[in-house]
Chain A
Amino acid sequence: MRFVADQAQLARALQQVTRIVSPQNTLPALAGVRIEVREAGDADGHGTVRLAATDLTSEITVDVLASGVEPGGIILPAGPLTDLVGRVPTAEVRVEADSAVHRATVAYGRNRTTLQGFAVQEMPQFPVREEEPAVFDLAPGALARLARQTVFATAHDESRPVLKGTSVHVADGKLVMVGTDGTRLSHAWVAVPDYRGPALDFVLPQRALAEAARLAGSESTQLSRAGNQLEIRTASGTLVTLLLEGRFPDYKRVLPEQYLSHIRANTDMLRGAVERVNLIAHRDRAGSIRLSYSGGALEIQSEAVDVGQAYELVEVEGEGQAMELSFSPHILLDGIKSLETEKMALDLSGPEMPARLAEVEGSSYFHIVLPLRQMV
C-alpha cells in the first residue's frame, strides 16, 4: 500500500477515527487504525484511503482523498500515528506499507518514521448484514441536537445496561429519542418525512450516539438499520454500531397525564438564577433547591448549614395552582441547560410529582425531572 495525502486532512481524519480507540486493549490490533487503499487509483493515481477504528461495539470509518495510490492495507498503532501526523511540518505526508512484515513508513520531506503494525485481518470487522436495511435521512444538525438533548440524561453506571443507551423510535414520519438514568428523562424528536417503512424500535449505545453526533456536526446524516446494527453516514465519515440488547423501560407510563400549573419563563434568566442558587445548595451534600410558584413569580431558594442562604425571584408568565417543589441541584440545572430555545415552559403536576421542562418554539423536546421528597 502506498499513498500521498494532505497533512491537515489526514491529521483530521485520524483524530476523528481514533477517538473511539480505547487505550487499554488486550488485543493489540484494537489499539490501532486500519488504513486501506481498496482500489487502484485513476489514470493520475488519485484514489481514496479508508481509515477505520473500532471499540468492538462501534466502528468509525473516514475516507481521505490521496494521490499516488497503490492498493493494500495495514493496521498502525493509533496513538503514535495520530500524534506523528499531527506534528508533521510539511504539507504532504507519504505513507508506504510493507504488507509482508506489517511495517509502514510515514515520510515527510526528507524525513521519515517507521512504525510496526499488524495485518489488516487482525482487526475484527462488522459482518455485512444481508437483509435490506431500513433507511432514513435526518436534516442538517438534527442528530447533533438529539444527542445533546438525550445523552446527558442516560445512565452511567452498569446496573441497568439498557439505560446506557438512547431509545430510538421511528414511526409516522417522526423519530423520537429518549434517554433516562432512572431519575430524569429526556425526550426529543425530529421529523423524518421520507421514511415510509415499518415502525423501528432500538436502543443506541450512548457512546456511539455521542461519537456519531461529533462526526456529523451540522451536516445531514443518513441512518440505516439492519438487524442489530445501525449505520450512521455523514459527509465526513461513517459510524456503524451494534445496538444495545434488552428492553427499554416503558417510559410513557411515568409521563404525567395532566399538569396543574403551566409556567413560561425566559430560559437564560431562569438558568442564571438556578446557577446562582446552586452555588449555595452545592455546599451541602444533602443540598436541594426549592422552587415556589405563585402568580407571576417563581421563587428559587437554597440553604446550606454553615454557609448561607440564596434567594432569587424570577418573573414568569403562568397559570394554575401555586406550588412548592425541591430538586437535586444539578438535576434541575442539567435539565434547563438542555433547552435550546429562548423561552421555556415549566409544567408542574404536583409537589412530589414529575415536572416537565420544555422548549416552547417548535416543541420538539421536553425533559422530565422528579422532585425530591422531604422526609418527615
Chain B
Amino acid sequence: MSRIRRLDPAVADQIAAGEVVERPASAVKELTENAIDAGAHAIRVLVPAPDRRHLIVEDDGVGMDRDDVLLSVERHATSKLARLADLDQLGTLGFRGEALAAIGSVSRLAVSSRPPSADTGYQVVVDHGLRVSAGPVARQPGTRVECRDLFRDVPARLKALPAAPAEWMAIWQVVAGQAAAHPQIGWTLAEEAGGAPAFATRPGSTLADVLLAWLGPDAAAQLIPVERTALAGDVSVSGFILPPDLARGNRRQQVLAINGRVVRNFSLRAAVEQGYGSLLPERRYPGCWLQISIPAPQVDPNAHPAKAEVRLERERAVAGVVHQAVQDALRRQHAFPLQAASADGAVESASPLRAAEQAAWDWPSAASGASPAPLHREIADLVPLSQWQARYLLCQGAAGLYLIDQHAAHERVYYDRFKQSAAQAVPVQPLLVPLVLNLSRTEAQLLATHGEVLAASGFELEPLGGSSAALRAVPAPLMDVADVSLVQTLFDSLLAGGAYGEHPVSWALDHQLATAACKAAVKANRPMTRPEMERLLADMAESPSPRSCPHGRPTLLVLSLEEVDRRFGRR
C-alpha cells in the first residue's frame, strides 16, 4: 500500500521552501534525516570521491515499495505531512517532501529500497530531474540513496563550493551531529565501503558512547553531564558539556538538538556560552552536546529552508533553562576529581530551584544568586603551608594538598571587586562629535524598545530616522573603546534577550574588567608573607567562581591524600 501522497499544492506553497541543498554536506543532512525518519537502526554514509560530490546513504529502516520509490523523487511528495495544521504535531524531521526531488534535480540520483515485508526491492534513477530508469532490484530491506556528480550542471553552485577538505569536515560534522542527536542509531561515515570509518558508533549507543567516538578517551573523560527539567516539566535539557579549559577557537564542538533536530539558534548558543560566564577566555567556545525537548507545538521547524533554524515560542524562557542547566553543571562539577560526591547532592536537592523555575518564565536570570557553599567553605578552610617558586601557594585542606596560582587567584579577586563597582552608577561622557551608526531593522527595533535600558547604563543613542542612529554619550569607563563594535556587542547581548545573569551592558565591560584585574593582581615571582596568603584565600572564598581567573585559567589544583598514598605504594 502506498504511503506517499502528493501534497495539496496550496499546502505545498504555504510551506515556504527555499534552496534545500546548497552543498554536499546539506545533502547528507537531508538524506540522513530521511533515514532517521524511516526508523533506521543503522545508517551508513559513504563519500567515495575525493571531491565529495558522490554520496551514498544507506539505512535499514522501513523502506519503500515500488509506488513510493517512484513518488519519493517527485516534488512535494511526502509521507509525513498532509495538512499544514499537522506541522504542529510533527514527529519527523522531514515534512516538505522536496529533498529527494531537489537533490535529483542537481545530480544523478539512484533510490533503491525494499520494505522488510516485500521480497524484492525497487530502484529509480533520476538524472538532473529526468527519470532514466526504474525497475526491480535485489537488495536487503531498507533504503539506499546514491547521488553522483552533484551540481554537475549547476556551474554557479559548483564554483561556490568550499574546498574538498572543508566539505569533508562539514560532512563529518553533520554525521557526528546527527549521531549526538540520535545516539541509539548506529552511525558509520567512511570514504569507501569496507574502508576504515572516519566516524563510527554502534546501534543502541548512548550520547556518552557517541562522544567517546567523537572526542577520544582523554577529553571524553572530562565531560560534565547536564540535566535539567523546568517550566512545569515542559522543557528538558540533557547532555554534556566540556570544562572551560577545553574550549576551542571555533564552535565545531557544539551540537544543540531540539526534539531530535540539530539546529542553529543564536539565543540558545549564547545561553550556553554565557553559562560559563568569565570562565571562558575571550573568543573561545565551549564544547556542548545538548538535547533539548520542548512540546512540539511550541517549535516551528519551518523557519529556514534547510530546517536548520527553528523558531521557538518561548525562546527566552528556554534559553534561561539552558543557561541555568549549564551553570549548575559547572558549579556541581568539583574542581578536584575526588570528594565530589558530597558536594553534588547538596546543590541539586535544594528546593528554591522550583521557585527559580517559575521565575524563568519572565526573567530567567533570577536563580543565579545561590552560591555553591561547599567549595567556598573548602577554600575558606585552607591552611597555607608555604609558597613555592614565589608563584604558587601550597595549602592543606579537605581534599588534600592544594596548589594555588597566586596571580590567577588574585586576578579573580580583583575582577569580582571591579565588577561590583562597575555595577554602580558611572559618569557619562557626552561626545563632542556624535558617532553615527547604521542599524539593521532588528537593531532599530531594539533601540526603540530598549532605549531606556541603554540610557540608564550611560549609552545615549538617538534614532535619526531610517536606519541610522547617533551615539551621543557613553559610560566614561568605556570611552576608549567606544566604537562601532562596542555598540554591536551591546545589541548582540540585547538580542540574546538579556536572558541570563547580569545586565547586558556589563557584558560589554567584561573584557575591560578582566584586563584591569590582570594588571592589578600580584604577579608571579613575588614572595608573599603568611598573612598575605591568608588574606588571599579568604578573598577567594568570597568569590562567586573562585576556581578560575577571569581569562578562564584554573586558579587551583589539588593532590589528594589517596593519590599521594598510592604513589608511595601505601595502598
A373-B428 contact given A163-B433, A182-B433, A254-B433, CB 8 Å threshold: yes
Residues of A173-207 at the interface with B, using a CB-CB cut-off of 8 Å, are: 180, 182-185
A375-B483 contact given A184-B432, A370-B430, A370-B431, CB 8 Å threshold: no
Cβ-based interface call for B477 (8 A): yes
Least Cβ distance of B457 to chain A in Å?
9
Cβ-based interface call for B16 (8 A): no
Q: Is the CB of A182 within 8 A of B477?
A: no
Q: Is the CB of B473 within 8 A of A157?
A: no
Q: Is the CB of A180 within 8 A of B427?
A: no
Complex partner residue of A375 from B418, B458, B481, B484, CB under 8 angstroms: B458
CA distance A175 to B430 in the complex (A): 29
Residue of B nearest to A251 (CB): B433
Residue of B nearest to A368 (CB): B432
Residues of B463-508 at the interface with A, using a CB-CB cut-off of 8 Å, are: 473, 475-477, 479, 481-485
Complex partner residue of A286 from B431, B456, B477, B481, CB under 8 angstroms: B477
Cβ-based interface call for A374 (8 A): yes
A326-B427 contact given A159-B484, A285-B421, CB 8 Å threshold: yes
Cβ-based interface call for A372 (8 A): yes
Cβ-based interface call for B358 (8 A): no
Q: Is the CB of A254 within 8 A of B432?
A: yes
CB-CB under 8 A from A163, the residues of chain B are 433
CB-CB under 8 A from B370, the residues of chain A are none
Size bin of chain B's contact surface: 20 to 34
Residues of A111-166 at the interface with B, using a CB-CB cut-off of 8 Å, are: 157-160, 163
CB-CB under 8 A from B458, the residues of chain A are 375
CB-CB under 8 A from A180, the residues of chain B are 432-433
Q: Is the CB of B427 within 8 A of A352?
A: no
CA distance A273 to B435 in the complex (A): 33
CB-CB under 8 A from A183, the residues of chain B are 429, 431-432, 479
Q: Is the CB of B432 within 8 A of A373?
A: no
Q: Is the CB of A375 within 8 A of B435?
A: no
CB-CB under 8 A from B428, the residues of chain A are 372-375
CB-CB under 8 A from B513, the residues of chain A are 285
A286-B433 contact given A158-B483, A305-B421, CB 8 Å threshold: no
Can you list, as one digit per residue, whether each of A286-319 has a CB less than 8 Å from chain B (1) or not (0)?
1010000000000000000100000000000000
Complex partner residue of A372 from B418, B429, B482, CB under 8 angstroms: B429
CB-CB under 8 A from A284, the residues of chain B are 421
Cβ-based interface call for A266 (8 A): no
Least Cβ distance of B557 to chain A in Å?
31
Most buried by B among A180, A285, A328, A354: A285
A182-B435 contact given A372-B428, A375-B428, CB 8 Å threshold: yes
Residues of B409-426 at the interface with A, using a CB-CB cut-off of 8 Å, are: 418, 421-422, 424-426
Q: Is the CB of B429 within 8 A of A328?
A: yes
CA distance A79 to B4 in the complex (A): 74
CA distance A285 to B427 in the complex (A): 10
CB-CB under 8 A from A352, the residues of chain B are 430
CA distance A22 to B429 in the complex (A): 34
Q: Is the CB of B433 within 8 A of A249?
A: yes
CB-CB under 8 A from B434, the residues of chain A are 182
Can you list, as one digit per residue, whether each of A20-44 has a CB less than 8 Å from chain B (1) or not (0)?
0000000000000000000000000
CB-CB under 8 A from B219, the residues of chain A are none
CB-CB under 8 A from B430, the residues of chain A are 352, 370, 372-373
CB-CB under 8 A from A288, the residues of chain B are 427, 476
Can you list, as one digit per residue, whether each of B498-524 has a CB less than 8 Å from chain A (1) or not (0)?
000000000000001100100000000
CA distance A299 to B435 in the complex (A): 33
Most buried by A among B421, B433, B481: B433
In the assembled complex, 6 residue pairs joining A and B whose CB atoms fall closer than 8 Å, in A order, are A159-B483, A182-B434, A285-B422, A286-B424, A370-B429, A375-B425
15 other contacts beyond A159-B484, A374-B425, with CB at 8 A cut-off? Answer: A157-B483, A180-B433, A182-B433, A182-B434, A183-B431, A285-B418, A286-B422, A286-B426, A286-B475, A286-B476, A326-B427, A370-B432, A372-B429, A373-B427, A373-B473
A-binding residues in B (CB < 8 A): 418, 421-422, 424-435, 456, 458, 473, 475-477, 479, 481-485, 512-513, 516
Top 5 A-B pairs, shortest CB-CB distance: A159-B483, A372-B427, A286-B426, A157-B483, A373-B428
